[in-house]
C-alpha cells in the first residue's frame, strides 16, 4: 500500500460502513439541552449570541450545531452525518500524520514505501475502535471530535513547518498555531497540545536532542504555551466559580442538572487522586473495549493510600518509565505511550462533573492506534525472521485486518444500544448498579414512554440508593401524576423539596402546574418553601408567584411577588431558560392584570 490517498479512501469506506447504523440514533441525554432546547442555534443571523450562549468555552461547537439546525432543523440524522464526516476526517489526518513521520522514522533502511501501509492500519484502528462510539454516535460528543480535527491538523502543520524544510513553509507554523486556537474553542482538552508537540520535537524532529529542543523553544514552542496559559486562566476561572456554587457550569443549565453528577467536596487534590485511580480503567477501555458504559460508576478517592490510587500510581509510573526507557530503542512506541498520557493530562488537573466518561478517550485512542501498529510491526518482523521470509508488511496488514474486523463488529453492536434510550440506560444501570443517575434517566425514559408503573419502580430503586436525590423524587412525582394519584404525587413532591431544598427553583418551576388537584398539600409546600427561603432569589420568586396566581386565591400577593422577581432577574441566560418554555404569554397576561388593578 504505497498511496496515501488510497489509504484514506479505504479508511473512509470502512468507517462509513461501521457507523452507518448510528445515523438513525435519536437525540440522547445532553443532546436535548445542547440542541433541542437551545434557542441560540435557531438564530444563526446573530453569530455573537450563537458563539457565547450555553458553553462559553466551546463557541465552535455551538456554531456547528447552529449550522446543522439551519440545514436539518431537529432531524438528528443530519447531526449524526456531520459527526461521522468529522470522524472520517480525523482518521484521514491520522493517516497523514503517521505517513509524515513514518517515512523517516518508522520504516528506515529502504522500507519507506511501506509507510502508507502502516498509516492505513493506524487509521483503521482509530476509526473503528469501539471506545469512540460515545464520541461519534452521541451528538454531544462532537466537542471532542471537532477538537481532534484541529488538534491533529495542528500536529501535521507543526511537523511540516520544521526549520529543516524550506523557509517558505514558515507560514505553516502560524497556521498550526491558529488550529490550536480553534481546537481550544472546541474543547479545553486541547490544552495538552503544547506538551505533545514537545514530545514530537524531542523524539522525531530533534532526534532525541534536548539541546536542539531547547534552542527551538522560544521560536517554536513558546507561542503555543502562551496561548495555552491564557486559555487555562479562563478555564480555571469558570471551574472555580462552578465548584464554589457561585454559578452553574453553563448559563442555560439549571442547578438541578448538576446535582447527581458532582461528587461532594471535589477539589484539585481529590480530583488528582481520583484520576490516578481511573487511569487503570481508562487503559482498559483501549485494550479491552468489551464492557463499555455510558455512565461509569467511579468512587471518588480522597487519599493516596486507597488501593485504587496505589494501583493506578504504580501503573502510571511504570507506563511513563517504559516510555522514557523506550525513547531511543523504540521511539514510536514511546511516542504512542506518551500520547495517551499527555492527552489525559487535562483531566488530572481540572475537576469535572464526571470522574470518567468514554468520550475522553477519543484523542488517546489515536495514540493507542499508533502503538498497536508498532506492536504489529514488531510481531510481523519476528514471524518473518522466524521463517526466513520477507513477509513483514503482509503479515502486519493481515494481523491488522483481523483486529479491525473484530473492532468493527464490536462498534456496530455498541451503536445498536444507542438506538433506544431505554436500551442505553438499562445497559448503564446494569453495568453501574450502585450509581443513581442511570436509574434516574431510565425512569425519565419510561415516563416519556408512558410506562408509569415501571418508572415508579425504577424511581423507588433510585431513592433507595440515594435518599437525597431530588431528581429521583421528582420522577416519582411524575409517575404518580401519570397514574392519576394526585394526592400521592403532592406528598412525593413535598418529600422531594425536603430531600434537597437547595434546588427548589427548578423543581417549583417544572412541577407547579402538575399538582393543582392537590391544592391543600401544595399550599403547605409553598408555605414551607417561603419559610426556608426568607430572602427569595428571583427564580424561586417567579415560580412561587406563578403558583400563587394560577392555583391559589391570593392572586394579588402572587402578582406582586412575580413582578418583583421578574424585575430582579437580569441574567440573560436564565431569561432564555424561562422564555423557551410556554411562559411568555402567561407572564404578559399577568402583567396586564397587574396594570388593570
Mean pLDDT (whole number) for 296-317: 92
User: 345-359, 424-438, 530-544: lowest mean pLDDT where?
Assistant: 530-544
Mean pLDDT (whole number) for 547-562: 56
Question: How far is residue 434's CA from residue 298's CA, in Å, rounded to a whole number?
Answer: 10
The yes-or-no verdict on residue 349 having pLDDT over 70 is yes
Residue 532 has a CB neighbour count (10 Å cut-off) of 14
Write out pLDDT tens, residues 492-523: 776 776 666 555 544 554 454 444 444 555 55
The yes-or-no verdict on residue 489 having pLDDT over 80 is no
Question: How far is residue 279's CA from residue 332's CA, in Å, rounded to a whole number?
Answer: 22
Q: Residue 76's pLDDT band (boundaries 50, 70, 90)?
A: very high
When comparing pLDDT for 361 and 389, which is higher?
361
pLDDT at 505: 47
Question: How far is residue 119's CA from residue 305's CA, in Å, rounded to a whole number?
Answer: 42
Query: Within 13 Å, how many C-alpha atoms sit on residue 441's CB side?
Result: 24
When comparing pLDDT for 6 and 377, which is higher?
6
Question: How far is residue 533's CA from residue 449's CA, in Å, rounded to a whole number?
Answer: 36
Mean pLDDT (whole number) for 391-412: 83
pTM of the predicted model, to two decimals? 0.81
pLDDT at 520: 54
Cβ(251)–Cβ(54) under 8 Å? yes
Tell me what the pLDDT averaged over the chain comes to.
79
When comparing pLDDT for 86 and 558, which is higher?
86
Q: Residue 260's pLDDT band (boundaries 50, 70, 90)?
A: very low
When comparing pLDDT for 389 and 186, which is higher?
186
Mean pLDDT (whole number) for 185-194: 93
The yes-or-no verdict on residue 237 having pLDDT over 70 is no
The yes-or-no verdict on residue 122 having pLDDT over 60 is yes
Q: Give the cell for residue 340.
A: 495517551
Q: What is the 3-state composition of the chain as percent helix, strand, coil, each rounded to the nearest 5?
A: 75, 0, 25
Cβ(418)–Cβ(28) under 8 Å? yes
The yes-or-no verdict on residue 83 having pLDDT over 90 is yes
Mean pLDDT (whole number) for 535-545: 56
Portion of the chain with pLDDT greater than 70, in percent:
71
Question: How far is residue 479's CA from residue 500's CA, in Å, rounded to a whole number?
Answer: 19
Question: How far is residue 75's CA from residue 401's CA, in Å, rounded to a whole number?
Answer: 35
The yes-or-no verdict on residue 254 having pLDDT over 60 is no
Mean pLDDT (whole number) for 471-486: 85
Amino acid at each position: 500500500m504505497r498511496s496515501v490517498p488510497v489509504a484514506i479512501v479505504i479508511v473512509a469506506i470502512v468507517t462509513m460502513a461501521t457507523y452507518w447504523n448510528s445515523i438513525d440514533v435519536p437525540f440522547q441525554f445532553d443532546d436535548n439541552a445542547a440542541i433541542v432546547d437551545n434557542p441560540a442555534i435557531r438564530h444563526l443571523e446573530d453569530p455573537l449570541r450563537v458563539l457565547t450562549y450555553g458553553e462559553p468555552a466551546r463557541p465552535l461547537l455551538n456554531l456547528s450545531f447552529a449550522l446543522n439546525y439551519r440545514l436539518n432543523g431537529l432531524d438528528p440524522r443530519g447531526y449524526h452525518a456531520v459527526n461521522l464526516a468529522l470522524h472520517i476526517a480525523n482518521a484521514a489526518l491520522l493517516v497523514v500524520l503517521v505517513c509524515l513521520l513514518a517515512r523517516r522514522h518508522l520504516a528506515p533502511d529502504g522500507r519507506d514505501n511501506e509507510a502508507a501501509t502502516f498509516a492505513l492500519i493506524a487509521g483503521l484502528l482509530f476509526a473503528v475502535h469501539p471506545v469512540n462510539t460515545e464520541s461519534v454516535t452521541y451528538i454531544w460528543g462532537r466537542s471532542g471530535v471537532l477538537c481532534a480535527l484541529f488538534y491533529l491538523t495542528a500536529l501535521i502543520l507543526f511537523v511540516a513547518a520544521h526549520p529543516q524544510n524550506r523557509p517558505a513553509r514558515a507560514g505553516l507554523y502560524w497556521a498550526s498555531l491558529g488550529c490550536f486556537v480553534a481546537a481550544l474553542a472546541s474543547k479545553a482538552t486541547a490544552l495538552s497540545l503544547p506538551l505533545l508537540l514537545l514530545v514530537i520535537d524531542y523524539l522525531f524532529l530533534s532526534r532525541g536532542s534536548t539541546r536542539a529542543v531547547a534552542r527551538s523553544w522560544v521560536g517554536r514552542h513558546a507561542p503555543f504555551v502562551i496561548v495555552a496559559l491564557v486559555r487555562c486562566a479562563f478555564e480555571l476561572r469558570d471551574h472555580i466559580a462552578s465548584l464554589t456554587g457561585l454559578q452553574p457550569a453553563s448559563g442555560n443549565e439549571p442547578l438541578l442538572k448538576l446535582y447527581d453528577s458532582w461528587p461532594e467536596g471535589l477539589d484539585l487534590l481529590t480530583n488528582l487522586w481520583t484520576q490516578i485511580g481511573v487511569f487503570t480503567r481508562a487503559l482498559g477501555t483501549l485494550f479491552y473495549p468489551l464492557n463499555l458504559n455510558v455512565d461509569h460508576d467511579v468512587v471518588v478517592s480522597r487519599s493516596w493510600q486507597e488501593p485504587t490510587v496505589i494501583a493506578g500510581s504504580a501503573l502510571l509510573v511504570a507506563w511513563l518509565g517504559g516510555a522514557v526507557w523506550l525513547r531511543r530503542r523504540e521511539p514510536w512506541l514511546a511516542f504512542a505511550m506518551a500520547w495517551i498520557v499527555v492527552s489525559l493530562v487535562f483531566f488530572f488537573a481540572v475537576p469535572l462533573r464526571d470522574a470518567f466518561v468514554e468520550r475522553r478517550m477519543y484523542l488517546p485512542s489515536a495514540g493507542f492506534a499508533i502503538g498497536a501498529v508498532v506492536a504489529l510491526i514488531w510481531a510481523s518482523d519476528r514471524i518473518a525472521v522466524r521463517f526466513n521470509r520477507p513477509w513483514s508488511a503482509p503479515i502486519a496488514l493481515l494481523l491488522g485486518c483481523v483486529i479491525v474486523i473484530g473492532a468493527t463488529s464490536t462498534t456496530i453492536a455498541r451503536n445498536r444500544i444507542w438506538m433506544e434510550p431505554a436500551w442505553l440506560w438499562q445497559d448503564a444501570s446494569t453495568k453501574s448498579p450502585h450509581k443513581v443517575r442511570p436509574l434516574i434517566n431510565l425512569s425519565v425514559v419510561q415516563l416519556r414512554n408512558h410506562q408509569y408503573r415501571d418508572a415508579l419502580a425504577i424511581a423507588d430503586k433510585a431513592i433507595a440508593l440515594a435518599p437525597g436525590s431530588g431528581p429521583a423524587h421528582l420522577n416519582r412525582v411524575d409517575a404518580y401524576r401519570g397514574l392519576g394519584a394526585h394526592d400521592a404525587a403532592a406528598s412525593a413532591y413535598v418529600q422531594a423539596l425536603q430531600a434537597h431544598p437547595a434546588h427548589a427553583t427548578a423543581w417549583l418551576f417544572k412541577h407547579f402546574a402538575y399538582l393543582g388537584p392537590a391544592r391543600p398539600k401544595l399550599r403547605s409546600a409553598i408555605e414551607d418553601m417561603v419559610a426556608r427561603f426568607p430572602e427569595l432569589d428571583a427564580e424561586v420568586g417567579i415560580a412561587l408567584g406563578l403558583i400563587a396566581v394560577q392555583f391559589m386565591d391570593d392572586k394579588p400577593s402572587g402578582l406582586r411577588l412575580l413582578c418583583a422577581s421578574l424585575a430582579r432577574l437580569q441574567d440573560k441566560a436564565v431569561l432564555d431558560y424561562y422564555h423557551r418554555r410556554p411562559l411568555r404569554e402567561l407572564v404578559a397576561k399577568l402583567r396586564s392584570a397587574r396594570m388593570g388593578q
